[in-house]
Structure 1
Amino acid sequence: MSTLTSPVESSAARRAPHGPTKVFKGHTGRVCCVAYFPDGQHIASTSSDKTVIIWDVERGGQDGHPLQHDCSLEWIAISPDGRRIVSGLQAGGPVIWDALTRKVVHEIKGGGVWRLAYSPDGRWIATAPRVDERVIRLWDADTGRPGREPLKCDGRILCLAFSPDGSRIAAGMVDGVFQVIEISTGKSVVGPIKGHTRTVTSVVYSPDGRLLVTASQDKSIRVWDSKSGMEVGKPMLGHSDDVWCISITADGRRIASGGSDDTVRVWDLETRLQVGHSFDAGGWVFSVAFSPDDRHIISGNSLDDVALWDTESLSVSVFSLLRYSF
């Protein structure tokens, strides 16, 4: 990628004892979403300052110039091959960028995007609109054109996720409901299920597709059977305020979460218990993502920062369970 332009601040000078390993500074507004590129060496972040910034993880700082937009950004997704970036505008449709040239490939007209996601095969981009249309729109990632009729949902959508095989989309809604839509038929195959008492803010599939994990403003993280919609085990409780975001490890054994209590936490998906200490983010955490090798977590927060956390600092013995004990 391009030449570096901005420095990275060491956590030692900033927060302790459970502060980040690195803090990437460059945004001038709250960081809404963060995402890893498949190579694990670069990350991208969106902000209310109307930019997407790409960062070099190892060397620190910005990689090239920010991608400029006309309005604030809510969400970002990176294609599975790392060649495209799609950003969602608060007052427009998704914008598809070439990750190497940093040029716009397609700019799709629309009334604002809450959330978006790339399908696992890179063929589709799914978006949840800001307006109360109660639909998921599918766009052809190569042409930027509508891929099929919108998928109808039973509520206003705040978050969504493709199943690992790309055949289904799970949607979380503002009334605490989630449901799963079969893409080929457009029909709801799970739900709507009222699992939370407040807005569902984030949803992820386990890598094997067997489980769905949801987070909510009701301070809980819950696990569901993705086929039946039945809740599996007890919820993960510990956040003292809204949970805004979750991410899952590549092996499906840990969950990272962030919320309005200014913390990033890691959970054992089998025991539902928190692993080690909480990370002090110093501000509301809107987005988290595990690195491809599961060794780090990145987060975006209300302090305009992108932070990188070392999961091995939780405990060498506990983290070893992640890789060797099961």
Structure 2
Amino acid sequence: MLSAGVILPNTDHDNFSTLYEPEKLRPLARLVERGRPGLAIQLMTQFATPALRSPIQLNISVGSVVWLPDGMRVVAGCEDGNIRILDVASGATLHELVGHTKLVNQFAVSPSGKLLASCSDDLSIRFWDAETGHAIGAPMVGHDDDVWSVAFSPDGRHIVSGSSDDTLRIWSTETCTTVLGPLRGHTSSVFSVAYSPDGSRIVSGSGDDTVRVWDARTGDQILTLRGHTLLVHSVAYSPDGLRIVSGSDDRTVRIWDATTGQAVGISLEGHFDWVISVAYSSDGTRIVSGSDDHTIRIWDAATSASIATIRGHTEYVGTVGSVAFSPDGKRLASASEDGTVRIWDATDDWRRWDI
């Protein structure tokens, strides 16, 4: 049986039972459906797990996870400063990238999928070959404090970084030097950065409770998005570039108009603790969030409705520090302080009894 993990559509309670692989429950669900139509889906929802495999045990706090474009591998950043490229099917470590001397806060994959960029509490940014795991070039330094976030431009020519020195920097991936910045405006740590899909803008989230939008060419600040009441941990653009999503210590997820900076709809509420990570699905229809409450939530990006809550990361030490949709949007990867990377079914197939 897979380790317990539960997905509870539109529920806010913490009570859940031992869960089972969907295929083992389906014969019983079919029998139940014959006697009481409509009950099978309830049975599957309550007792089936969306976990697609047992947790990938790394036995050290995992702060960040991203998918590689082939959808067969994920990259995990760990507390020991090392980065591990993992085979999703087997859970095996394919490469261990050694170089950072402190916690790896985040990394990004280039549009080509060939290059990784990582950032760390050791104040540096590093490039790596995604196929071999070999370091490329020397560490990039310039920030005066922990580097929290990095993101590639859509053309792969630049990366942007955000730091506890309250600034952003834009770097050349060819020369490994700062080409713009430091960009100043935030009054506290910059925890998250992302490029717009067309590469013209950059969004940042900060400990000053704001989300800010910058001109990627000039470095000028364009918008300040206010609404969160505590620090903003994570920001992301929608695939069409029309929306920005943010997650905050105020326990909410917010959606913004990327052009005007105005809030869109109501805040997405349901988490019971800090929201650490947010991301859009590749088709832009769903948002995923990971929280200090140990859960993952999936939201409807158009209606702001809660679609599902995934539980499974260990209580007390199970902060979900990073969540990401697979390239095809059918799976989720999550990373946690409980020392695991977990892979989940992001579709409704896990609770279908008729397949």
In the superposition, the TM-score normalised over structure 1's length comes to 0.78
Compute the displacement of 1:312 (Å).
2.6
Residues 65-123 of structure 1 show CA distances to partners (whole Å, capped at 9, x for unaligned) of: 11111310111111122122110001131000122332110012342311111111111
2:117 to 126, 135, 138: 126
1:60 Cα offset (Å): 5.5
Show CA shifts across 1:232-257 (max 9, x none): 1x311000110110111100010111
Q: Which of 213, 221, 228 pairs up with 2:211?
A: 221
**1:297 equivalent in structure 2:** 287
Q: What one-letter code is carried by the residue in structure 1 that aligns with 2:8?
A: S
For 2:239, give the aligned amino acid: A
Shift of 1:8: 3.0
Letter in 1 for 2:108: A
SS in 1 for 2:202: strand
| Structure 2 counterpart of 1:67 | 56
For residue 144 of structure 1, the aligned residue among 130, 133, 146 is 133
Corresponding residue of 2:308: none
User: Are 2:240 and 1:251 equivalent residues in the alignment?
Assistant: yes
The structure-2 alpha-carbon separation of the partners of 1:64 and 1:268, relative to structure 1 and needing over 3 Å to count, comes to: same
User: What CA distance in whole angstroms lies between the structure 2 residues aligned with 1:130 and 1:7?
Assistant: 31
Q: Secondary structure at the match of 1:95?
A: strand
Q: Which runs of 5+ in 2 are unaligned?
A: 20-47, 306-355
Contact kept in structure 2, 1:108 and 1:144, CA below 8 Å: yes
Contact 1:151 1:183 in 2 (8 A): no
4+ residue runs over 6 A deviation? none
For residues 48-87 of structure 1, the aligned pairs below 5 Å read 61-87=50-76
User: For residue 309 of structure 2, what is the aligned residue in structure 1?
Assistant: none
**Aligned residues: percent identity?**
34
Look up the equivalent residue of 1:125 and give its one-letter code.
L
CA–CA distance in 1 between the matches of 2:192 and 2:172?
19
Where does structure 1 lack aligned partners over 5 or more consecutive residues?
A: 16-22, 27-58, 316-326
Q: Partner of 1:43 in structure 2?
A: none
Matches of residues 1-12 of structure 1 in structure 2 within 5 Å?
6-12=4-10
Deviation per residue, 1:2-46 (Å, 9 max, x gap): x9664533243326xxxxxxx9x99xxxxxxxxxxxxxxxxxxxx
Q: How many Å separate the matches in 2 of 1:236 and 1:60?
A: 38
Equivalent positions of 1:1-326 (< 5 A) are 6-14=4-12, 61-109=50-98, 110-111=100-101, 112-131=103-122, 134-156=123-145, 157-232=147-222, 234-280=223-269, 281-314=271-304
Which amino acid in the other structure matches residue 72 of structure 1?
S
In 2: Cα distance, 1:70 partner to 1:126 partner: 23
Amino acid at match of 2:240: D
Q: Is the 8 A contact 2:278 2:290 kept in 1?
A: yes
Seen in structure 2, the aligned counterparts of structure 1 residues 82 and 197 have a Cα distance that, compared at 3 Å, is same
- Give TM-score, length-normalised by structure 2: 0.72
The structure with higher relative contact order (CA 8 Å, sep 6+) is: 2
Give the Cα separation in 2 of the matches to 1:13 and 1:124: 40
Length, aligned pairs only = 270
Kept in 1, the 8 Å contact 2:203–2:236? The answer is no
Name the Cα RMSD after superposition.
Answer: 2.1
Question: CA 1:98 to 1:248, structure 2 compared with 1: closer, same or farther past 3 Å?
Answer: same
Query: Aligned with 1:212: secondary structure?
Result: strand
Rg: which structure is higher?
2
- TM-superposition CA deviations, 1:145-164 (whole Å, max 9, x none): 11122222233311111111
Cα deviation digits, residues 292-312 of structure 1 (max 9, x gap): 111111110011001111123
What secondary structure does 1:126 align onto? strand
Other structure's SS at 1:150 match = strand
Contact 2:67 2:74 (C-alpha < 8 Å) held by counterparts: yes
